[in-house]
Structure formats: C-alpha cells, structure tokens
Chain A
Amino acid sequence: MDILEYSAVALSAAIREGKLTATEAMEAVLARIDEKEKDINAYVTIDREQALRAAASAQERIEKGELTGALAGVPVAIKDNMCTEGMLTTCSSKILENFVPTFSAEAVINLEKAGAVIIGKTNMDEFAMGSTTETSAYGVTRNPWNTDHVPGGSSGGSAAAVAAGECFFALGSDTGGSIRQPASFCGVVGLKPTYGTVSRYGLVAYGSSLDQIGPLTKNVADCAAVLEVIASHDMKDSTSINRNDTDFTAALVNDVKGMKIGIPRDYFGEGIDAEVKNAVLAAAETLAAQGAVVEEFDLSLVEYAIPTYYTIAAAEASSNLERFDGIKYGYRAEAFEGLHDMYKKTRSEGFGAEVKRRIMLGSFVLSSGYYDAYYLKALKVKAMIKKAFDDAFARYDLILGPVAPTTAPKLGESLSDPLKMYLGDIYTISVNLAGLPAISLPCGKDSRGLPVGLQLIADSFQEKKLIQAAYTYEQNEKKI
C-alpha cells in the first residue's frame, strides 16, 4: 500500500507497529509536494529540513515508547494564520511577509505534544477574508480535482493539501465557513467545533467572537482523532471552555437509529445548484435508510445571517488588524514622511483589496452615529439567530443541509463580484454566529466531477452527534 493512501490514524498505527517510519512518511509527503505544488500551490512555507528533523525525532520517541497517541509521527499542514514558533507566519498577507512568531498557537502545541510533525504552512485568503484562496498575496491555490477551479476558502491551502495527498491532515480556521466550504469543494472532511472548544491563543484573529480552529482530514475517524487532540481548556484564552467530553473518537459508531434530523426548507430555495441539492438530499436518504428520522422544517432568519455576519466580522476585523502598522513587526513602507504617512503607506501597500474593503466596512459600522444602527443591531440579530437554532435543536439532534450553494467555481469568477461571493456563505455563517459545531463531508460529485459537500449542524457541545452521524453516513454512503 502506498504510504500516501493511509489515513492519519492508520498511518500512525502503522508507524507505531513498526511497519514504516515517521521519516518515510515525511519523505513520501515531501516527494508528493515536489510533484504537485507547481500545479496546486497549497503551501506558503515548507521547511523540509526542519520537517525531516522533527520526523526523525518523533520516530525516536515512538521507538522509546514516549509517543503512543493516535497522531504520533503523522505529517500535518498548518494554516498560515496560526503562529508557529520560529516558522514564518504570514496570514498570506504582504504585511506579515517577514513575520516569525516567538511562540506557537496552543492548537499547534497540542498537535506537537501528540507527536504530529509539521510540514509547513498552508495558503489561505489574506487574513482568512475570502471564500476562494484567491486573495492570498502569495498566489492562488488550485483545486486538486480540477486546477481551473478554486479550492474554496479561506482554508483553501489546507483543504487542497489534504485532497492532493500533500499532507495527511491539516488545521484550518473557520470564521464564517472557512473550514467547511473548502473541505466541501475539495472533497475532504472539515469540522468547525463549538466556539471555545479549541484555544484561539496563537490564531491571528479575524473575527474574534466567531473564529474557531478545526481539522481538515481524509475521513471522519481522522477528524475525530484530530479534534480530540487539539481541543483543550486554555487559561490563556478567556473564551476557552473547560469540557470533559472531548473523547470524540468514542462517537465513531455506525448507528443513527432514532436520531432526529431536520432539513431546513429555507436551505433549498433560490440560488442552490440542482446537482448540489440532489446530492445533499440523497445523503439525507442514506441516513434515513439507516434509521434516522428525517424531516423538513422552517429555520427562520436565514436571510439575515449574511448582513449580520459581515457587520460583526468586519467590525472585529477592523480593530484586530490595527496592530499591523509597520512599527513592531512585519512590512513597513520604504519611503514616508512622518508617523501618519508611515501608517498610511504601510497599510495601503501591505493589505490587499478584500482586507481593505472589510476594514473600511468594519470601521464604518463602529463609527459614532452608526454603531447603534449597524453593530448593535447586528448583535441583536445574532442573538435571535441563536434563538432560532435553540428552537430547532429542541426538536432535532442535527440539522442537515448543503455546505455551499454550488460546487467550486472557476478561478477568477468570484472576486469581481464580492457580494455574490458573500452570498455563497449563506449555509455556513449562521453556525458561527450561533457558536455551533458543524461538519462538512463529501456526498458525491457533480457532473463535472467536482465534489459536493454535506453539512451537519449540531447544538453547542454536541460534536459527538455530528461525528456519529457523519461516520454512519461515510460507512453506508456507497451501500444504497
């Protein structure tokens, strides 16, 4: 069996059983990267020497019996908005072109403690703002299924790397769908945990109240294993939650009998591609065939999610991105006259168009005289959206729907019409507004051979239900 065909969990088991070594796994991945990267461009930074050194060290510790976890020895790719000590962390922005953090993100530390080995940093939409990975300052990432198409975004590099075998699994971050949508476009599994489950310490903030780190993996079992490792209560993150139910792999059970699944009618109205709709509804039938109780219902307020999200996320982003000023680290304009000119030129030259658009939008909705009308109102709608989900979860264990209205668009189609691009986030963003967990998993392909994603949404802290249903679907997908 080709090393690259192993799932992350199977690879680690094979390494721990002595069938192969962590170094061999890393060499295989680096060889695949050499072969694929010129077409895909999934990575911003690859540190081969460091990766091989770390793999050798992991192998040694495995042999000594010090590393016994499910991810020991497995090569992993990290989205470039998570700090990695001593390794360039750019957020795919020119403004951080030379930024090397002095510490690692808590999620990265958790992975390293478990023995996973970092290959490098994956490409993304600049500061995670975008749905196509085309706003990166370091070139677009292409979809491994068809390189004329985007991989989705903003965690497009992570999703493409998993799909192309350029890593065994990856970390992404999800503020409005940035894990789930590229997972869907690239035919891999992606999970956005309940807000507070994975520490945000070391994640370069976009929309702080919405950001969550999560896994992108080849299958559901890997997804559960990775989430189990990265979830932790971190005293350095005030929004981190102390959970005692993070044994997510315990939910890898092939059984949905009696599980109540609601399908929001509002998710299948205007704008959804017929092929996507059919694939998602077929997935619902698969689950029904396994004993789940599936029915349609009306989830209210769906149309308010997009304006609410773009108000809150942009407001927080406008403040979060103020620290990039050329004073302390990162890019600084070469020629300037005085402090204010330095700020202006550094930020004008350092940020791309989409980031500037959101900074301006965010500054506007927070400015005096507009705060109540936009930002405060958005917070109120956010609370109402949460309430709508609470009502739904009083009746259902899970909500089932598409991840995105279409499969991956062609390169260059989206950025010319940002409003249309924003509308593509309709099924994912309300999940962030409500702080809920959701998973994206492959449910077939369209007629062009592009993957379609199925989204399952659960109530807060109910990741295990997501994993159980997703695992059941995965096990039974081809059996109908």
Chain B
Amino acid sequence: MAKQYETVIGLEVHVELATKTKIFCGCSTAFGGAPNTHTCPVCTGMPGSLPVLNKQVVNYAVAVGLATNCTITQYCKFDRKNYFYPDNPQNYQISQLYLPICRNGHVEIETSEGKKLVGIHEIHMEEDAGKLIHDEWEDCSLVDYNRSGVPLIEIVSEPDMRSAEEVIAYLEKLRMLIQYLGASDCKLNEGSMRADVNLSVREAGAKEFGTRTEMKNLNSFRAITHAIEGERERQIELLESGQQVTQETRRWDDAKEYSYAMRSKEDAQDYRYFPDPDLTPVYISDEWLAQIRDSQPEFREEKMARYKKEYDIPEYDIGIITDSKHLADLFEETVAICGQPKKVSNWLMGETLRLLKEKNMDPEDICFSPEHLARLIGLVDSKAVNSTVAKEVFEVMFDKDIDPESYVEERGLRTVNDEGALRKTVEEVIAANPQSVADYRNGKEKAIGFLVGQTMKAMKGKADPGMVNRVLKELL
C-alpha cells in the first residue's frame, strides 16, 4: 500500500496597514499615483535623512496582536535588515527581529473537519519596498518609490496547518479580523495582503518535520490552493523516487500554474540584523495598551449574537452580512436611519450581493452611503417609486452613490399617483384592446394582466401597479 503523507504548512502573511502616511515619513500611502510622486528624502534613502515612527502603525499592530491573542512586547525595537536591491533605497529594510511587537498568539479557524487553533509565532512591523519596472523596449529597469515606506505587519504563523482548506480558513479569519479593526483592506490582488507559504510533507504519524520550501508571489486564494496542492505533489514525488526535498524559495507562476526555484538555502543571505540606531525603542505603556484594548471593535461572533437578539432577520442573512465589516456597518447605519432591518437586509442580500458578484467586487468596494439606501427604502415605502424603478435606481446608486430622491425627481421616475391621468390612460388602453376586454368580461381573469402591462407601458413604468389594477377593474 502506498505511503500516506501529511502536509505541514506555516504562513508568513504581510499586511499593508491602512495608515494615511508612511511608517517613517509623512508621505501619502495612496495606491496608484504617478511614479515617485509620493516620495521624500526619507523614503528614497537620501543621505542625511532620518526615520520617525508613525505611531498609528503601532496602534494597528497592537490591535491586530490583541485580536489574535498575542502577548504584546511593551518594550520593542526596530532592527535593520541589510540587503542590496534597487527597490530598497537604503539597502536596508527597517524591520523587527529581536523584539517583535507581538508574540505567542493564536486564532480559531473552522473547516469541514471542525474547529481548530492556529498558532501565531509573532507579528512584527516593517517598511515596504518600492517597485521595479522593467522596460523591455529600452532594456532597462526603472524604480518607483511610492510604495517604499508603506507600513506592513508580518504575521508569522506556527506550522499548524495541514491542508489548503485550513490555510484559506486561516487567511479568511485574519482578513476578517483585520478588516474589522480597519487596519487594512487586505486585498490579495492589490498586494495589501500577501501570503508566503512554507510547506513540507512527512509520512503520516512521523514526529519530525520534513524539509520545507517557501513559495512566494501568491496573489489569490485560488493561486494559494493550487500552489499548495502542486507543491505537496512535487515533494511527495521527490520522496517516493528516493530524492530529497531541497530547502529553497520558489516562485509561483500564476499563468503556468507552476512554481520554480528562485534560490536555495546555500544562497541565503546574511542580513546582518542589528538594532536601528536612528530609532528609539518603542515603549508601549500600560495606559497606551489599555487605550488600544478599549477601542477594539465588536468582532464578528459578538456581532452575530447581537443581531440575533436585536433584529428579526434570518441567521443565514446575519452570517453573510457580518462576514464583511463594511457590509455590517452599512447594515447597522442604514437601520439606524430607517428602522427597517428586514428591508435593509433584503437590499443587501438581494441586489447588493447580485451586483457584487456580477461586477466581481468585494463588499469592501461598496460605495453607496447608508443615507442613500435609507432614502431609497423610503421612496418604495411611500410608493413614490415601484419596485422595478427602485431596482433601476439602486443600480445607478451602486455605481455612483447618487442621491435616489433627486435622481428620481430629475429623471421624472416618480410613480404617477394622479388618478385622473391614470384613468385617462386606462380608458385609452381599454379602447385600443377590445379583444382582451372581451376576454376578461367573458371570465378570463388572466386577460387583465395583459391590460395592466399595456397601461404600465403607456405610463413608462411610473404607475403604481396596485392602483392600475384597481382602476382597470372599476372601468371594466
């Protein structure tokens, strides 16, 4: 019988923090922007420039540490990691090695196998590097330092995961916690969340770990899943054919769905870490720590329990809405304005999710405001628009966050409640469709549907269907 293998996985997850300015200077962290426009002497490594720590980075790092049950290092330091590369303007990265800000934490994940804890070895703060752009045409490389100095935390897990499913559950858990904290938007495709996968295999039941490889450049959950499955197979094949797994860093090629070796352990650099003398140690006082602890948000589990108590909406809806902090905020804020949880939930669960899926967007990308959603609900409630028009208005609101009231006014979409005008149209429809009128009078109830449709069409959809029905029946 073939040997059974167990996969052992640990993750290094980099998360770009949502601070407005960089970790060691006042430059903007905004994504995009013309190359080298969000830069200054500090983040381009000019001689004589010095770093000054952005305190908000510490706030976020501690908040993530608390949310992942870590011990906070109240006296922590920054270290320099020395290596030469053009995207690294000082040729050292300011990071943390000896005294990282958080240690010894864990998160609970849930998979088809049930619940389990994944340990967190440490979380440290560091600066991001710039970006190299290779110009194939000119055969030269250009460097953009806009991203240089954007704050990151690196969350290093214990090798506690055993499958791609657990890895995805772990990442989704981290993403949710961090989004709830507002510490990052955690977008894999934009690079604000990046996961390096450390993977080894061993015979089932073995105590020792096998030799691991590290995979980089994984930009989606799909890539992570495929890379894990591929790497597991590759390592098992090596072992089965009597070969050794080489400790190395491998780069995932998403197009080819294949990873290839970047560098082996022998080429591993000596980073010559040492405490950065330009920065003073960070001392997080008990008061500061308490302040961060006190401002931790309500996380998903507590939120779900509260929704169950406060709102009369299905558990399934609660699950979906609280899955995203942004969606949950939108829900609560809209309900606070209009007081109709059921209707708000319907808009979110129905049209909102449909459009998100159709446009391939995350709930975090929703741009419409709770005020506008509440107004739209108000327009439907007061029968100012019918549900078909409301859906059309919602689509525009979803795209551009327009004010539904002024939009309806400007476009003349308000339901015509003038019975005189309606009566006149209905009379015209009756006159133009003698056959349907005869069918109805002969007992074919369904014929009225056709007449309602014709009336709505003549009214350009702006009539209240209930009123059309009533007037039709009266006149027939």
Given A319-B92, A322-B90, A339-B86, decide whether A366 and B272 contact each other with a Cβ distance below 8 A.
yes
Asked if A139 lies at the interface with its beta carbon under 8 angstroms from chain B, I say no
Find out whether the CB atom of B278 lies under 8 angstroms from the CB atom of A96: no
Asked if A105 lies at the interface with its beta carbon under 8 angstroms from chain B, I say yes
Nearest-Cβ distance from residue B115 to partner chain A, whole angstroms: 40
Asked if B412 lies at the interface with its beta carbon under 8 angstroms from chain A, I say no
Q: Which residues of chain A come closer than 8 Å to B443, judged between CB atoms?
A: none
Task: Please name the residue on chain B nearest to A312 by beta carbon.
Answer: B277
Task: Please name the residue on chain A nearest to B51 by beta carbon.
Answer: A238
Distance of A238 Cα from B50 Cα, bound (Å)? 8
Given A339-B86, A343-B84, A366-B272, decide whether A323 and B45 contact each other with a Cβ distance below 8 A.
yes
Distance of A3 Cα from B389 Cα, bound (Å)? 89
Find out whether the CB atom of B47 lies under 8 angstroms from the CB atom of A322: no
Find out whether the CB atom of B277 lies under 8 angstroms from the CB atom of A316: yes
Q: For window 207-253 of chain A, which residues contact chain B by CB distance below 8 Å?
A: 207-209, 235-239
Asked if B270 lies at the interface with its beta carbon under 8 angstroms from chain A, I say yes
Distance of A81 Cα from B277 Cα, bound (Å)? 18
Q: Which residues of chain B come closer than 8 Å to A103, judged between CB atoms?
A: 41, 46, 48
Asked if B194 lies at the interface with its beta carbon under 8 angstroms from chain A, I say no
Find out whether the CB atom of A323 lies under 8 angstroms from the CB atom of B47: yes
The interface centre, meaning the residue of B47, B82, B84 with most chain A CB atoms within 10 A of its CB, is B47
Asked if A167 lies at the interface with its beta carbon under 8 angstroms from chain B, I say no
Pick the contact of B84: A89, A235, A322 (CB < 8 A): A322
Distance of A459 Cα from B42 Cα, bound (Å)? 33
Q: Which residues of chain A come closer than 8 Å to B272, judged between CB atoms?
A: 318-319, 363, 366-368, 371
Q: Which residues of chain B come closer than 8 Å to A367, judged between CB atoms?
A: 270, 272
Asked if A327 lies at the interface with its beta carbon under 8 angstroms from chain B, I say yes
Distance of A204 Cα from B49 Cα, bound (Å)? 8
Q: Which residues of chain B come closer than 8 Å to A237, judged between CB atoms?
A: 50, 52
Find out whether the CB atom of A89 lies under 8 angstroms from the CB atom of B47: yes
Binds B, one of A26-34, A148-156, A195-203: A195-203
Chain B 17-50 against A: per-residue CB contact (8 Å), 1 yes, 0 no? 0000000000000000000000001001111111
Distance of A64 Cα from B368 Cα, bound (Å)? 59
Distance of A103 Cα from B86 Cα, bound (Å)? 23
Pick the contact of A201: B49, B273, B280 (CB < 8 A): B49
Q: How large is the interface on A (under 10, 10 to 19, 20 to 34, 35 or more residues)?
A: 35 or more
Asked if B402 lies at the interface with its beta carbon under 8 angstroms from chain A, I say no
Asked if A393 lies at the interface with its beta carbon under 8 angstroms from chain B, I say no
Asked if B370 lies at the interface with its beta carbon under 8 angstroms from chain A, I say no
Asked if A329 lies at the interface with its beta carbon under 8 angstroms from chain B, I say yes
Q: For window 339-385 of chain A, which residues contact chain B by CB distance below 8 Å?
A: 339, 343, 363, 366-368, 371, 375
Given A238-B280, A323-B89, A327-B86, decide whether A375 and B47 contact each other with a Cβ distance below 8 A.
no
Chain A 310-349 against B: per-residue CB contact (8 Å), 1 yes, 0 no? 0000011011001111011100000000010001000000
Nearest-Cβ distance from residue A31 to partner chain B, whole angstroms: 32
Given A322-B82, A323-B90, A363-B272, decide whether A208 and B46 contact each other with a Cβ distance below 8 A.
no
Nearest-Cβ distance from residue B80 to partner chain A, whole angstroms: 5
Find out whether the CB atom of B91 lies under 8 angstroms from the CB atom of A325: yes
Q: Which residues of chain A come closer than 8 Å to B86, judged between CB atoms?
A: 325, 327, 339
Given A235-B52, A238-B53, decide whether A315 and B91 contact each other with a Cβ distance below 8 A.
no
Task: Please name the residue on chain A nearest to B272 by beta carbon.
Answer: A366
Distance of A91 Cα from B280 Cα, bound (Å)? 26
Distance of A177 Cα from B398 Cα, bound (Å)? 67
Distance of A375 Cα from B53 Cα, bound (Å)? 25
Find out whether the CB atom of A328 lies under 8 angstroms from the CB atom of B89: yes
Find out whether the CB atom of A102 lies under 8 angstroms from the CB atom of B41: yes
Asked if A422 lies at the interface with its beta carbon under 8 angstroms from chain B, I say no
Asked if B279 lies at the interface with its beta carbon under 8 angstroms from chain A, I say yes
Distance of A101 Cα from B278 Cα, bound (Å)? 20
Asked if A433 lies at the interface with its beta carbon under 8 angstroms from chain B, I say no
Asked if B143 lies at the interface with its beta carbon under 8 angstroms from chain A, I say yes
Interface of B is mostly: loop
Q: Which residues of chain A come closer than 8 Å to B273, judged between CB atoms?
A: 366, 371
Nearest-Cβ distance from residue B473 to partner chain A, whole angstroms: 78
Asked if B274 lies at the interface with its beta carbon under 8 angstroms from chain A, I say yes
Given A238-B53, A366-B274, decide whether A319 and B82 contact each other with a Cβ distance below 8 A.
yes
Pick the contact of B270: A200, A316, A324, A368 (CB < 8 A): A368
Asked if A205 lies at the interface with its beta carbon under 8 angstroms from chain B, I say yes
Find out whether the CB atom of B48 lies under 8 angstroms from the CB atom of A83: yes
Chain A 53-90 against B: per-residue CB contact (8 Å), 1 yes, 0 no? 00000000000000000000000000000110000010
Find out whether the CB atom of B46 lies under 8 angstroms from the CB atom of A238: no
Task: Please name the residue on chain B nearest to A322 by beta carbon.
Answer: B91
Asked if A99 lies at the interface with its beta carbon under 8 angstroms from chain B, I say yes
Distance of A325 Cα from B89 Cα, bound (Å)? 9
Nearest-Cβ distance from residue B398 to partner chain A, whole angstroms: 44
Nearest-Cβ distance from residue A290 to partner chain B, whole angstroms: 40
Q: Which residues of chain B come closer than 8 Å to A207, judged between CB atoms?
A: 277
Q: Which residues of chain A come closer than 8 Å to B44, judged between CB atoms?
A: 328
Given A102-B41, A323-B90, A371-B274, decide whether A204 and B280 contact each other with a Cβ distance below 8 A.
no
Given A201-B49, A319-B272, A322-B84, decide whether A208 and B89 contact each other with a Cβ distance below 8 A.
no
Q: Which residues of chain B come closer than 8 Å to A236, judged between CB atoms?
A: 50, 52
Pick the contact of A238: B48, B52, B89 (CB < 8 A): B52
Distance of A101 Cα from B280 Cα, bound (Å)? 26
Find out whether the CB atom of A101 lies under 8 angstroms from the CB atom of B46: yes
Nearest-Cβ distance from residue A88 to partner chain B, whole angstroms: 12
Find out whether the CB atom of A101 lies under 8 angstroms from the CB atom of B47: yes
Distance of A205 Cα from B48 Cα, bound (Å)? 6
Q: Which residues of chain A come closer than 8 Å to B50, judged between CB atoms?
A: 200-201, 236-238
Nearest-Cβ distance from residue A232 to partner chain B, whole angstroms: 14
Task: Please name the residue on chain B nearest to A340 by beta carbon.
Answer: B84
Q: Which residues of chain B come closer than 8 Å to A204, judged between CB atoms?
A: 47-48
Find out whether the CB atom of A238 lies under 8 angstroms from the CB atom of B274: no
Find out whether the CB atom of B270 lies under 8 angstroms from the CB atom of A96: no
Q: Which residues of chain A come closer than 8 Å to B274, judged between CB atoms?
A: 315-316, 319, 366, 371, 375
Pick the contact of B48: A101, A316, A366, A368 (CB < 8 A): A101
Chain B 276-312 against A: per-residue CB contact (8 Å), 1 yes, 0 no? 0111100000000000000000000000000000000
Nearest-Cβ distance from residue A95 to partner chain B, whole angstroms: 10
Pick the contact of A327: B48, B143, B278 (CB < 8 A): B143
Distance of A203 Cα from B46 Cα, bound (Å)? 11
Distance of A89 Cα from B53 Cα, bound (Å)? 27
Task: Please name the residue on chain A nearest to B143 by beta carbon.
Answer: A327
Distance of A204 Cα from B46 Cα, bound (Å)? 9
Nearest-Cβ distance from residue B218 to partner chain A, whole angstroms: 25
Q: Which residues of chain A come closer than 8 Å to B89, judged between CB atoms?
A: 323, 328
Distance of A243 Cα from B200 Cα, bound (Å)? 56
Chain B 81-115 against A: per-residue CB contact (8 Å), 1 yes, 0 no? 01010100111100000000000000000000000
Pick the contact of B280: A82, A239, A316, A327 (CB < 8 A): A239
Q: Which residues of chain B come closer than 8 Å to A363, judged between CB atoms?
A: 272
Q: Which residues of chain B come closer than 8 Å to A239, judged between CB atoms?
A: 277-278, 280
The interface centre, meaning the residue of B46, B279, B280 with most chain A CB atoms within 10 A of its CB, is B46
The interface centre, meaning the residue of A96, A368, A375 with most chain B CB atoms within 10 A of its CB, is A368
Distance of A214 Cα from B250 Cα, bound (Å)? 51
Q: Which residues of chain B come closer than 8 Å to A101, judged between CB atoms?
A: 46-48
Task: Please name the residue on chain A nearest to B275 by beta carbon.
Answer: A379
Q: For window 161-211 of chain A, which residues contact chain B by CB distance below 8 Å?
A: 200-205, 207-209
Nearest-Cβ distance from residue B2 to partner chain A, whole angstroms: 41
Distance of A416 Cα from B90 Cα, bound (Å)? 32
The interface centre, meaning the residue of A102, A201, A315, A322 with most chain B CB atoms within 10 A of its CB, is A322
A207-B277, A366-B274, A371-B274 known, 18 other contacts, Cβ within 8 Å: A101-B48, A102-B41, A102-B46, A201-B49, A203-B48, A205-B48, A208-B277, A236-B50, A236-B52, A238-B278, A239-B280, A319-B82, A319-B274, A322-B82, A323-B47, A324-B47, A325-B84, A327-B143
A-B contact pairs, 11 of them (CB 8 A): A82-B48, A99-B47, A202-B49, A205-B47, A238-B50, A318-B272, A322-B92, A323-B45, A323-B89, A323-B91, A325-B91
Q: Which 6 A-B pairs have the closest CB atoms?
A: A322-B91, A209-B277, A366-B272, A208-B277, A202-B48, A204-B47
